[in-house]
Chain A
């Protein structure tokens, strides 16, 4: 069974500091896509970053970057210069061969002013 594991239910970081959210997954497929989604209190699911498994280069989007380790099946999200608006639930997700998103349990990120 394909699974996504986020081992940190909650993380906190001081404003302007850097935080890393961890995610591991399990799959037997070689070609797939990984995502990080943000869910603020408004509950909307917002795509933060996407990584194609066939690409060795780690994806980056402004202050957000990933550390993708395919062999280790690890896909962590680094947020630099944390801002108050970054406070949200962060979900790691993986697309399986049936085109379904397999979601992690989420990590609640708290930003301390």
Chain B
């Protein structure tokens, strides 16, 4: 029954590795997001997709590549992981613009790069 689910919840990996975080929503929403929460708890938007099309692409390294195979999924792939990538990554979704509709968040994926 989870509305927005992301896997894995915890990921510990070495520098230089490539990893993916998957996200799925069963709310029928047309817009999905990836946020990064750093050690200071600030949440920063990374990407936003609407109907599988990229609509927000903040200044993030090219090592981060989102992929949306369909409206219900938005996966995040990270190449050549660096220590500074350690953070909690949140997937979220909304129906239409987040400006006017509630965003639903997943439980977060805690990435630790060692």
Contact = CB atoms under 8 A, between A and B. Distances in A.
Nearest to A95: B99
B43 A91 contact: yes
A35 B98 CA distance: 11
Contacts of B105: 37, 44-46
B107 A99 contact: no
A103 interface: yes
Instruction: Classify chain A: how many residues form its interface, as a range.
Output: 20 to 34
A98 interface: yes
Interface in A45-73: 45-47, 50
How many chain B residues sit at the interface, stated as a range, is 20 to 34
Contacts of B110: 43
Contacts of B100: 33
B66 interface: no
A101 B103 contact: yes
Of A32, A42, A91, A101, the most chain B CB neighbours within 10 A belong to: A101
Contacts of B92: 45
Interface of A: 32-33, 37, 42-47, 50, 89, 91, 93, 95, 97-101, 103, 105-106
